Structure 1
Amino acid sequence: MRHPPRHALPATLLACVVVSAAALAPRADAAAAPACTVEYSVTGQWDSGFQSAVKVTNNGAAKDSWSLSFAFADGQKITQGWGAKWSQSATAVTAANESWNGALPSGGSVEAGFIGSRPGANTVPAAFELNGVTCNTDVTDPTDPTDPTDPTDPTDPGGGGEAPALKVAGNKLVDASGATRRILGVNRSGAEFMCVQGRGIFDGPVDDASVAAIADWKSNAVRIPLNEECWLGLDNIKPEYGGARYQSAIKELVTKVKAHGMTPILEMHWSYGQYTGNSAGCGDLHATCQKPMPDARYAPGFWSSVAGAYKDDPTVVFDLFNEPYPDRATPNLADAWACWKDGGTCPGIGYEVAGMQDLLDAVRSTGAQNVILAGGLAYSNDLGQWLAHRPVDPAANLAAAWHVYNFNTCSTESCWDSTLAPVAAQVPLVAGEIGENTCAHGFIDRVMKWFDDRRLSYLGWTWNTWDCSTGPSLISSYDGTPTAFGTGLRDHLRAVNG
C-alpha cells in the first residue's frame, strides 16, 4: 500500500506502582519455562475508565533494554502511564523501558502501570510479548544461549505444518517435489513504519496466537514489509528498534509463520533518499515513506544482509521493492523503465538509484538462490514492459510482482488481459497486494476470480486493525475477526485452500 497510516503517540507520565495478583500465569505442568511471564491486573475500575498494573519477569537471557507489547480487545485507550514509556496505535499497546529501568537480568522483574478509558467492557489482554518473544507460553527465549531448542526447527512446540521450499519452474512456483504452489495469503504491515517512527517494531501483536489466526483463514503465505534503515540499524533509528534487535524480531516472526506452514515473504518497503517531486509521499531523507526507487547508498547492502541471513532457507521469498514509481518522476516512460532496471542517475530523482538488477545482484552475490519478486512501475500496478526490462537472474528464480486496488489505473479485466496475461505466460505472477478502499470486497472478488482462473497467486492488504477509512484493513481484531472487506478474502481463501 502506498501510504500506511501514521499514528500520534499518547502522553505519558512517570511514577511507580505495585502489582497485585496475576491475571495470566504460565501452566504449572509446562515442559519448558516461558521466556517471560506477565502478570496483568485491573486495580481499579469506574464507569468510563480503569487502572491496571503490569509486572514482567524475564526468564531468558539478560536484557539491557526491553519492550512489552499487547493488544486491547474492547477499545480501551491509555491516558496516563508510569514505570515505562507507554504508546498506543489502534488496539496495539507498547511499554518500553525508561532510561533508569532498562536493565532486566535473567530472573529479574519490572513493574509499571497506567490509567485508561474504556467504552464498555474491559477484557484482560490475552497475549503479551517481551522484545518480540511470546510470554506466558512454554516457549524459551531464542536469544538465550542456554536454550537447547532451535528456534528455526518446525518441530518445536507451536508448529502447525511445514513451509515449502519454493523455486521457479517456467511460469509456475513449485515445491521440492515439483508440485505447483500458489501463494495465497495476507500482508502483515507494521515493521516498515513503527521502528522509524520510534514506537516499536510491529503494529499490534505478532505472537503465535495472532499468526495462528492468519493460518486459520487458510492463508499459506505472509508478506512482511521491512524498513531499510531499521534493518541496518542506522543512526536515526532508536537502538531498541533497529539493527540486531529488529533483525531478531523479524526472524522470530518468520519462524512463527513457517511453523504454521506458511511462506514468509520479506519485502523492502520504506527506504532512504530524499524525493520531493511529483507524488512524493514525504520530503524526508530517511525511510519514512514510500520512495520512487531504492537508493544506491543503502539498498544493496540491505539486500546483501537480508539474503545472507536467509540464503540457506529456500522457504523464504524476497520481494525487492514495494512500489516503484519512477514514472511519476519523469514523463518519459522509456527513461522510467531504464531507471527501474539499471538505476543510476534517474530523471527527476535527486539521489543515486539502485535498480532492480542491482538489488538482484546483491541477493545472488551472497549465494542465496531464494525466489525473488520484482514489481513494475506505477506503484507495481504497471507490468506493461516488465518482460522487456526484467533483470537477468543467474539462478532463474525470478517472478513478477503486481499490486492492485480499486483506484489504480490497471483495475479492469481488459487491462489484466492485455498486460498481465503475457507476463504470467512466461514467469510466475504474484499479486503482492490486493485491496479496496470501500470496506467491501466486490473489487477483490473480481481480482481473485481472474487470478484463480489462471492459477496465479495473491495476498490481501492488510492484516492490521486500522480503520478502513485510513486504508484497507482485513481485520478488526488480531484474533482474526474480519472486517466486511476481510470477510471476502477469508471466505475465498477457505474455499480455495480448504
Structure 2
Amino acid sequence: MRHPPRSALLAIAGATALLGAITVPAVTAQGATPACTVEYSVTSQWADGFQGAVKITNNSAALSSWSLGFDFSGGQKVTQGWNAKWSQSGTEVTAANESWNGSLATGASVSAGFIASWSGNNAAPASFTLNGTTCNVDAEPSPTPTPSDPPGTGSGTAPALHVSGNKLVDAGGTNHRLLGVNRSGGEFMCVQGYGIWDGPVDDAAVEAIADWKADTVRIPLNEECWLGLSNIKPEYGGSNYVGAVKDLVARVEAHGMTPIVELHWSHGQYTGNSAGCSDVHATCQKPMPDMQYSPSFWSSVASTFKDDPAVAFDLFNEPYPDRATSTTTQAWQCWRDGGNCPGIGYEVAGMQDLVDAVRATGAKNVVLAGGLAYSNDLSQWLTYRPSDPTGNLVAAYHVYNFNTCSNESCWNSTLAPVAAQVPLVAGEIGENTCSHSFVDQVMKWFDDRGLSYLGWTWNTWDCSSGPSLISAYDGTPTSYGAGLRDHLRALNG
C-alpha cells in the first residue's frame, strides 16, 4: 500500500471538514512530541473553490529539503500555490520545497498556501507525511523484541511450498491457498528511528493472528534497515533488524502460518509524478527497486532463508514505473529489465535482476512479483514475466476500492488469464470505508477460483486511512476487519 491509504502507513490524527477560516490543529497521542506537525487551514471559501494553507514544523533532525504529502478525499483539486512546488495526482497532493526554503532546522516551521476547486465535500486531509514520516502522531517508539526472544510456543508447522502449474502446493502436492493478513511496521519504524515494529510482535500477538484462522502473514521490510546503512540507528538496523525479522518469521511459522517477507521501501531519489517523498533514503514507496541496494538486500534475505522453503519472497511492494514513463511498453520493460528507465533518476533493478539475485544464492523459495500501477495492473504480466529457473514464480496483485482495476469486469479480463497459467496472490486487499462490502466482493471472486488474498493491515490505525483490520493487538477487529476475520474463520475454522 502507498501509505496512507495505499501501501502505508500509519496511525494518524483525525481532522474535520472546514468552513471559513478554520484551522485543524496538530493532535498527538499522550502529549508526546511528534516527528513533525502540520496545521491545515481553509482561509477562505466560495461556491466552487477555496484558499488553503499549511504550516509545517520539523521536530526531528534538520532537513535540507522537504516534501509534504496528503490526500484530498473530497474531490478537491489544487489549481495554484505558493511557497512550495504543488502537484496533485488523483487524490494525492504533494508540496515540495522551493530552492530558497528547503532548509528546515529542528524546531523550525515553514508555511505554504494554495488555491483549489471543490464540489460537494471539502473535508480536511486526514493525515500528512513529511519526507515519508507521518506527522501529528505520537513519536514514542514501540517496544521491540530482541534477537534473543524465544521464537514462539505455537505447535503448528508451516508448509514447505512450491509452484505446480498454476497452483501453490505443499510438499505432499496438496493445493495451498495463502489467506491472511499483512503486518506493517518493519518498513517504516526503523528508518524513522522509532523502533523495528509498530506494536507488539511477541508470541501472544502472533497467536491473535492465528486465532482469526489466518494461514499467512506478509511482513513488509526496509532494505536500508536490513543492510544496516549509516542513516539507520544501529539499534534498529543491521544484525538487530535481521534478528528481529528472523524471530518474527519463526513465530509465524510456529503457529503454522506462511511468512512472506517483502521489500516495501527502498533507496533512490524520485521526485517525478506521484512521488511519495523527495528523500533518497528508503522513507517511502519508490516507483521501482534500486540497483545500488535492492539486489544486495535480496541476496542477503535469500541467503538467510534459503534453507526454509516455508518462507516466501515478495520482490517489491507496489511498482509504479508507469507513472514515470511515457508509454506502457516502456513501463513494462523497466519493470522487467530495469536499467536507466525514462523518468526515474536512479538506476533501476528490474524484476529479473531481483529473481537472479535470489536464485544465485541457491534459494528455491516461492517468489512473488507484483505488476504495474502499484501492483494493480497485471494486464501484460504474462508477456513480461521474468525468467525463473526453479519455476517457483507467482503473480502478485493489490486491490483497494479506490483502484482502477477494482471490479469483476477488470478481474475477468486481466487477472483470470494470469491465474490460468501461474498462481495468483492478492498480497493486499482493503478498502477505506471502515466497512467490508468491497473486500467481500474481492474474496468471493478469489474464492470462486481458489486463489489467495491477504488483508491490509494488522495494525491499530484509523480504519479509513490505513485501512486497519484491528483496534487492539489481541485481535479485536474494526468494523472493516470483522469481514475478513469472519470469512477466514468460516473457511478455515
* TM-score over 0.5 (shorter chain): yes
Aligned-partner Cα distance in 1 for 2:337–2:398 = 22
Aligned-partner Cα distance in 1 for 2:138–2:230 = 29
Does the 8 Å CA contact 1:189/1:225 hold for their aligned counterparts? yes
Matching of residue 223 in structure 1 with residue 218 in structure 2: yes
Give the drift of 1:271: 0.1
Specify the SS of the correspondent of 1:396: coil
Aligned-partner Cα distance in 1 for 2:148–2:185 = 16
Give the drift of 1:165: 0.0
Where does structure 1 differ by over 4 angstroms across 4 or more consecutive aligned residues?
Answer: 6-9, 88-93
1:22-421 to structure 2, matched below 5 A, reads 94=141, 130-131=145-146, 134=149, 139=150, 158-421=153-416
**One-letter code aligned to 1:5:** L
Aligned-partner Cα distance in 1 for 2:237–2:186 = 10
The 1:465–1:398 alpha-carbon spacing in structure 2 relative to 1, beyond 3 Å, is same
Aligned-partner Cα distance in 1 for 2:169–2:457 = 25
Give the drift of 1:93: 5.8
Deviations 1:108-158 (A, max 9, x none): xxxxxxxxxxxxxxxxxxxx7553655xxxx4xxxxxxxxxxx5xxxxx60
Does the 8 Å CA contact 1:329/1:349 hold for their aligned counterparts? yes
Aligned-partner Cα distance in 2 for 1:342–1:497 = 40
The 1:346–1:434 alpha-carbon spacing in structure 2 relative to 1, beyond 3 Å, is same
Give the drift of 1:469: 3.1
Aligned-partner Cα distance in 2 for 1:284–1:175 = 42
Aligned-partner Cα distance in 2 for 1:164–1:453 = 23
Give the drift of 1:6: 5.0
**One-letter code aligned to 1:197:** Q
Query: 1:2 matched to which residue of 2?
Result: 2
Aligned-partner Cα distance in 2 for 1:182–1:316 = 14
Tell me the TM-score normalized by structure 1: 0.72
Matching of residue 478 in structure 1 with residue 473 in structure 2: yes
Give the drift of 1:292: 0.1
Give the drift of 1:90: 7.5
Give the drift of 1:197: 0.1
Deviations 1:230-258 (A, max 9, x none): 00000000000000000000000000000
Deviations 1:206-229 (A, max 9, x none): 000000000000000000000010
Aligned-partner Cα distance in 1 for 2:233–2:350 = 29
Aligned-partner Cα distance in 2 for 1:305–1:371 = 16
Deviations 1:448-493 (A, max 9, x none): 0000000000000000000123221000000000000000000000
Aligned-partner Cα distance in 2 for 1:439–1:161 = 32
Aligned-partner Cα distance in 2 for 1:351–1:94 = 32
Give the drift of 1:159: 2.1
**One-letter code aligned to 1:306:** V
**One-letter code aligned to 1:2:** R
The 1:361–1:315 alpha-carbon spacing in structure 2 relative to 1, beyond 3 Å, is same
Give the drift of 1:89: 10
Match among 437, 443, 448 for residue 448 of structure 1: 443
- Residues matched between the structures, number: 371
Does the 8 Å CA contact 1:294/1:353 hold for their aligned counterparts? yes
Specify the SS of the correspondent of 1:345: coil
Specify the SS of the correspondent of 1:448: helix
Specify the SS of the correspondent of 2:191: coil
Specify the SS of the correspondent of 1:269: strand
Aligned-partner Cα distance in 2 for 1:439–1:424 = 29
Does the 8 Å CA contact 1:274/1:350 hold for their aligned counterparts? yes
Deviations 1:254-308 (A, max 9, x none): 0000000000000000000000000000000000000000000000000000000
**One-letter code aligned to 2:385:** R
Aligned-partner Cα distance in 2 for 1:331–1:468 = 35
Aligned-partner Cα distance in 2 for 1:92–1:316 = 32
Specify the SS of the correspondent of 2:141: strand
Aligned-partner Cα distance in 2 for 1:351–1:90 = 32
Give the drift of 1:330: 1.4
Does the 8 Å CA contact 1:164/1:315 hold for their aligned counterparts? yes
Match among 422, 428, 431 for residue 433 of structure 1: 428
Does the 8 Å CA contact 2:146/2:243 hold for their aligned counterparts? no
Query: 1:73 matched to which residue of 2?
Result: none
Specify the SS of the correspondent of 1:195: helix
Specify the SS of the correspondent of 1:348: coil
Does the 8 Å CA contact 2:180/2:216 hold for their aligned counterparts? yes
**One-letter code aligned to 2:407:** T
**One-letter code aligned to 1:412:** N
Aligned-partner Cα distance in 2 for 1:428–1:207 = 31
Aligned-partner Cα distance in 2 for 1:342–1:313 = 28
The 1:491–1:90 alpha-carbon spacing in structure 2 relative to 1, beyond 3 Å, is farther
Does the 8 Å CA contact 1:376/1:383 hold for their aligned counterparts? yes
Q: Identity rate of aligned residues, in percent?
A: 73
Query: 1:469 matched to which residue of 2?
Result: 464
Aligned-partner Cα distance in 2 for 1:89–1:212 = 31
**One-letter code aligned to 2:331:** A
Aligned-partner Cα distance in 1 for 2:196–2:407 = 36
Aligned-partner Cα distance in 2 for 1:483–1:91 = 21
Query: 1:142 matched to which residue of 2?
Result: none
**One-letter code aligned to 1:201:** I
Give the drift of 1:176: 0.3
Aligned-partner Cα distance in 2 for 1:92–1:224 = 22
Specify the SS of the correspondent of 1:210: helix
Structure 1 unaligned regions, length at least 5: 13-87, 96-127, 140-150, 152-156
**One-letter code aligned to 2:9:** P
The 1:94–1:133 alpha-carbon spacing in structure 2 relative to 1, beyond 3 Å, is farther
Deviations 1:69-105 (A, max 9, x none): xxxxxxxxxxxxxxxxxxx99799637xxxxxxxxxx
Cα-Cα RMSD: 1.9
Aligned-partner Cα distance in 1 for 2:255–2:219 = 15
The 1:241–1:255 alpha-carbon spacing in structure 2 relative to 1, beyond 3 Å, is same
Aligned-partner Cα distance in 1 for 2:378–2:354 = 18
Tell me the TM-score normalized by structure 2: 0.73
**One-letter code aligned to 1:454:** R
